[in-house]
Structure 1
Amino acid sequence: MEQLDATIVNTAIPSIAASLNVTPLSLKSVVTSYILSLAVGIPVSGWIADRYGTRRVFGFAIALFTIASVLCGLSLNAPMMVAARLLQGIGGALMMPVGRLAIIRTFPKSELLRAMNFVILPALIGPLLGPTVGGVIVHLASWRVIFFINVPVGLAALYLVYRHMPDYHGNEQRPLDVVGLILFSSGTAILSWLLEIFGEHTLDPMTMGLMLVLSIALLGAYAWHANHRRYPLLKLSLLRVRTFRISVLGGFITRMGVGGLPFLLPLLYQLGLGLPAWHSGLLMMPTAAAAMGMKLIAPRVLARFGYRQVLVMNTICIGVTIGLFSLVGPGTPTYAIVAIGLMQGFFNSLQFSSMNTLAYADVEPRDSSMASTITSSFQQLSMSFGLAAGSLVTAWFLGDVPQTERVLVTRALHHAFIALGVTTMVSSAIFWKLRRNDGESISRGQRASRNSAPLSQA
């Protein structure tokens, strides 16, 4: 629900603008307000879960998200919509890290890979289905339905949470790092906002440059602050754990290449191939189907080849499949486009399953909450960087080419796919630093005497 809403609104912006009697450009804040709420809320989610318990916080997040969805659907003007989206973003910021934390603390490391697949799949499918589902809803009904469909989902989720979800608390009551929260959240919020509006020329270069310097300064100040505080908001010293560091940093760069696809592929299909929006959306469906199929075999692949070999080779495969989209043109058969999409979903799913579980291979149980918060924060930033990278590369190759010049647009997009594919392949070098037996406590269930109990009991 949260991942779907992150992208589903984009398709409905023209309809929402017409209904609220504003220009579509003025509703950019509807999208950015949600992203900013995530950037601010995710860092504090771990502390809140440790303090008040996973069941209570997760239930509160779902209730807040559902209520905010109703308020979005009832909005009468743009300010009301922005305010409701801010609330929705806060609920979403608590959902993913806290839900992932409950999974980590429930299952032993030997079963964590299979369990985490159920958390990873929505992150893969949501951004792919969002534009398609949003387009269908706007075509068949009112844009308000986009938000109202969250009500039955949210009510069902609340029932399941209070009936089945375990309630974990932190091992110690650590104080909230208010100064760290202000420094890190403001720094990431400014940086995320800059990346969202990048290339739209809504700010002059001088202002954007000053804000970029400010965001970097705030994040640098937080790094200094965290190293001099006993209970920091984000325990950056966890990055000294080799497997955790490689997973977080390698995943950050990999997602930058992959993150440009949701922006580039609709341009290729609609501007390059001249397909209608609904057809363009259908061509992105095979990727989601392949991601679900990979869920069934990912544990066996990792058990057979290990994290190092899988991540090094699979990252290269992702780069190659991104580059294959540069061969797609007006005369390309549909089955060939579908085949590339299937490969992309297959490799993406294996990649995210591997990176997201490797992060917890050598993290101590007492740091599981902090590790979940850090990975979620970096993933949110990498999504913003990925979209910005896709926008930058496309704008660079498109230049002043009119969108009506289909051949020239297609050629420019082909160059963009090659650039992102090469970037992704180069990022595989980070995973070369893994050792052959890294992650075996997860992929093969080894060191069972140490990790046989759930993380909450270890």
Structure 2
Amino acid sequence: MTLLFRTYAPHERGKLAKALIVPTALMPALGPPLGGLLTEHASWHWLFFVNVPVGLAALLIGVLGLREHVEGTEGPFDRTGFWLATPGLGLLTYALGYGSAHGWSSPPVATAGVLGAALVAAAVRHLRRTREPLLRLGLFTDRSYGTASVLAVLTAAGLMGLLFVFPLLYQAALGASALDAGLSVFPEALGLMLASQLVDRLLPRLGPRRLTVPALLLATVVFALLGVPGVADDAWAVRLLMFLVGLVLGTAVLTVQLAGFESIAPPDMGQAMGLFQIVRTLGGAVGIALCAAVIGGGGHGGTPDAGPFRAAVWGTAALVAVGALVALRLPAEAPQPPPYEDAADEAVTAAQ
């Protein structure tokens, strides 16, 4: 993504929507069906083994297709920041992921949470003081980028929380199989593909704010409807709503990504993209942890109670609703080409 954003100018990045949709949201939508298929017809071990050929393919493509380009690196590598931030973020993610299942007070989770928080706090202190930090936290002070980063946390928390809890509602509370539960969220991928087409056309006309705010408000309604009693019993209603989740939330997520990096200079793009991915990943972990905490023991016992699952779905809707308020800080106008490009185009036209 860093390579793409450094290659295309801000006003040209709408063309990237079709590429950004794959790592941003399409793959999480394809995960549940694949997981259900492997769990039901192979073995849960394949949930891990399947990453091996994917990783080897990525490595091969990188070796053959990437060209070296160094920009924006000054001074030595920030080893202190690396050894503080890396284990700190890893421990925090572990605690968030396993807190609800193992108990927040269990020794592994509590130790990971406290130690991770302490390391992250020390990392933030170090990164703000060192001359050449591993991560430039000052980038968050940029209005567009800072707003996009907050939205990345909220939308990732909402989306990943929904993709986590709704298949459980469909499976544990309603008696569906693992494969059926995974397929229930697959139509979201179709909505995402359509969203990539819409962003390319609508963003230049409406601008980031007028496109993102309505999309997030619609996403809030769709998320909430998925938790209404009786809706999950209708397979076609679930498919339609999941399609709409991909369409409206995908539109918002892609727009936020494109708008947030408008004012980031090319030398800072690697730093900005790294920070953006970190906060989005943590947002997803927080969303799953919140949903797991709301569910509690709802998935255990002979007759699961659907109430906690629905409450968790409504919690994800609340996260997206907060995102709609934050999106009011996005720029009103879409990125425009620099004046010199317009002049150059006019000169070429006159010469022809």
Under TM normalisation by the shorter chain, which class is it?
A: 0.7 to 0.9
Distance 1:121 1:328, change over 3 A: farther
Measure the CA separation in 2 of the matches of 1:203 and 1:385: 14
Counterpart for residue 447 of structure 1: 338
1:92-146 CA distance string (max 9 Å, x none): xxxxxxxx11111222222223225413323312223223213323444466665
Measure the CA separation in 1 of the matches of 2:282 and 2:205: 32
Distance 1:379 1:290, change over 3 A: same
- Give unpaired runs (5+ residues) of structure 2: 344-352
Which of 368, 372, 383 matches 2:273?
372
Structure 1 segment 62-101 matched on structure 2, within 5 A: 100-101=1-2
Measure the CA separation in 2 of the matches of 1:278 and 1:206: 34
**How far is 1:346 from its partner?**
0.6
Measure the CA separation in 1 of the matches of 2:2 and 2:81: 21
Give the TM-score, by structure 2 length: 0.87
Counterpart for residue 96 of structure 2: 195
- Which stretch of the first structure deviates more once superposed, 156-165 or 228-237? 156-165
Equivalent residue letter for 1:404: G
Structure 1 segment 334-349 matched on structure 2, within 5 A: 334-349=235-250
Counterpart for residue 346 of structure 2: none
The answer (yes or no) to whether the contact 1:329–1:410 under 8 Å persists in 2 is: no
Distance 1:190 1:451, change over 3 A: farther
Counterpart for residue 122 of structure 2: 221
1:26-75 CA distance string (max 9 Å, x none): xxxxxxxxxxxxxxxxxxxxxxxxxxxxxxxxxxxxxxxxxxxxxxxxxx
The answer (yes or no) to whether the contact 2:104–2:110 under 8 Å persists in 1 is: no
The answer (yes or no) to whether the contact 2:145–2:261 under 8 Å persists in 1 is: yes
The answer to whether the aligner puts 1:110 opposite 2:8 as a matched pair is no
Which of 4, 23, 27 matches 1:126?
27
Equivalent residue letter for 1:416: A
The answer to whether the aligner puts 1:405 opposite 2:306 as a matched pair is no
Counterpart for residue 211 of structure 2: 310
Give the TM-score, by structure 1 length: 0.68
Distance 1:104 1:424, change over 3 A: same
**How far is 1:166 from its partner?**
3.5
The answer (yes or no) to whether the contact 2:227–2:311 under 8 Å persists in 1 is: yes
Equivalent residue letter for 2:150: L
- Give unpaired runs (5+ residues) of structure 1: 1-99, 453-458
Measure the CA separation in 2 of the matches of 1:149 and 1:183: 31
**How far is 1:214 from its partner?**
3.5
Counterpart for residue 71 of structure 2: 170
SS at match of 2:318: helix
Measure the CA separation in 1 of the matches of 2:224 and 2:244: 12
Counterpart for residue 347 of structure 2: none
The answer (yes or no) to whether the contact 1:318–1:424 under 8 Å persists in 2 is: yes
Which of 225, 228, 235 matches 1:327?
228
Distance 1:306 1:159, change over 3 A: same
In percent, how many aligned pairs have the same letter?
25
Counterpart for residue 74 of structure 1: none
Equivalent residue letter for 2:321: M
The answer (yes or no) to whether the contact 1:110–1:451 under 8 Å persists in 2 is: no
Aligned CA RMSD, in angstroms, stands at: 2.9
**How far is 1:332 from its partner?**
3.8
The answer (yes or no) to whether the contact 2:17–2:196 under 8 Å persists in 1 is: no
Which of 44, 64, 80 matches 1:179?
80
Q: How many residues align?
A: 344
SS at match of 1:219: helix
SS at match of 2:101: coil
Measure the CA separation in 2 of the matches of 1:202 and 1:299: 45
Measure the CA separation in 2 of the matches of 1:296 and 1:390: 31
Measure the CA separation in 1 of the matches of 2:85 and 2:56: 33
Measure the CA separation in 1 of the matches of 2:9 and 2:186: 33
After the TM superposition, list the runs of 4 or more consecutive aligned residues in structure 1 that deviate by more than 6 angstroms: none
Measure the CA separation in 2 of the matches of 1:377 and 1:227: 17
Counterpart for residue 4 of structure 1: none
